[in-house]
Structure 1
Amino acid sequence: MSDDEFDFLPLRVIRECSNGKRRYDPDGKRRLIEACFRPGASIAGLALRAQVNANQLHKWIRLHEKANSARAARSTVEPSAAAFIPVLAIEPGSAQPALEPAALPAASSHKQSATASRPTARLSAHLPNGVTVELECSRHDATLVAALIAALGER
């Protein structure tokens, strides 16, 4: 590596804070970090030439790598479906088709008549993965429904 490549060294201090911390020229700092990635580069040697602590230079390199990996991840990963799912409330007696009796779990006629007499609400949610979740419950099931929604939200 020639001396012409390192004409930006030592790093130019653009500000020194009252607590002794220094702020360096961002362009020179970037060039120093890039120089550290060259084959055969000595980070400790470059830190000496730049007049910065080697540990500080290692920290800058880690931050640079972290920023690059995050940038690469954002550019290669397709945006996921929305975090929120549409919820459709179906009122009793609406035009929406009800579940077929064959699809409901078998229950005694006593339970069916008790359930039929209570006012029910139906909740239908279409998840981004194509799954549809349908809930039919009475007003007494509010805590159960809240717990189910909270559990689904944790996943």
Structure 2
Amino acid sequence: MGQIDLDFLPLQVINVGANDKRSFDRGDKGRLVKACLRPGMSMANLAIKAGVNANQLRCWIEQYKAKERGTADTKGATQEARAVFVPMMEFPGGDDRVEPGQDAMPVTTLAALPVRLSARWPSDAGMGLEC
């Protein structure tokens, strides 16, 4: 792996607000984030060299990734906009505990039958819904 040019570190503070909030050069922040995204780079080590908190650097990285995905909100925080489709299945016998490999039928084929939905956690706590 080639050598990374880190001569811009520590980050230069360009402004300090009334609440002691520091502002950094955008170009240098971007270079730091891109350096963190390279394989084998230690984000914590780069945060120390940059003179910023590792949690702040992690936020900058998430904002950068969100901007790349086009999912940044107006405050710059990321929105996890994931649409996930999980098909519901009805298991013969209505047993809460389903054995691996047990056959299931899609709920759409059982529309006229009563539906029972249950979930059980490893602690053996659970909940159910019957319609």
Q: Tell me the TM-score normalised to structure 1 length.
A: 0.43
Match of 1:46? 46
After TM superposition, the structure 1 = structure 2 runs for residues 56-95 of structure 1, keeping only pairs within 5 Å, are 56-70=56-70
Match of 2:35? 35
How far apart, CA to CA, are the structure 2 residues paired with 1:39 and 1:29?
18
1:18 and 2:6 equivalent?
no
Quick one: which amino acid aligns to residue 54 of structure 1? Answer: A
State the 1:27 CA deviation: 0.5
How far apart, CA to CA, are the structure 2 residues paired with 1:38 and 1:65?
13
Task: Give the percent of matched residue pairs that are identical in Structure 1 and Structure 2.
Answer: 46
Q: 3-state DSSP class of the match of 1:6?
A: coil
State the 1:32 CA deviation: 0.1
How far apart, CA to CA, are the structure 2 residues paired with 1:23 and 1:12?
9
How far apart, CA to CA, are the structure 1 residues paired with 2:49 and 2:68?
25
How far apart, CA to CA, are the structure 2 residues paired with 1:62 and 1:38?
15
How far apart, CA to CA, are the structure 2 residues paired with 1:40 and 1:33?
14
After TM superposition, the structure 1 = structure 2 runs for residues 132-151 of structure 1, keeping only pairs within 5 Å, are none
After TM superposition, the structure 1 = structure 2 runs for residues 115-134 of structure 1, keeping only pairs within 5 Å, are none
CA deviation string 1:96-141 (max 9, x = no partner): xxxxxxxxxxxxxxxxxxxxxxxxxxxxxxxxxxxxxxxxxxxxxx
State the 1:18 CA deviation: 1.1
Quick one: which amino acid aligns to residue 11 of structure 2? Answer: L
Higher-Rg structure is 1
Number of residues paired by the alignment?
70
Quick one: which amino acid aligns to residue 13 of structure 2? Answer: V
State the 1:48 CA deviation: 0.2
How far apart, CA to CA, are the structure 2 residues paired with 1:20 and 1:58?
20
CA deviation string 1:130-155 (max 9, x = no partner): xxxxxxxxxxxxxxxxxxxxxxxxxx
Structure that is richer in helix per residue: 1
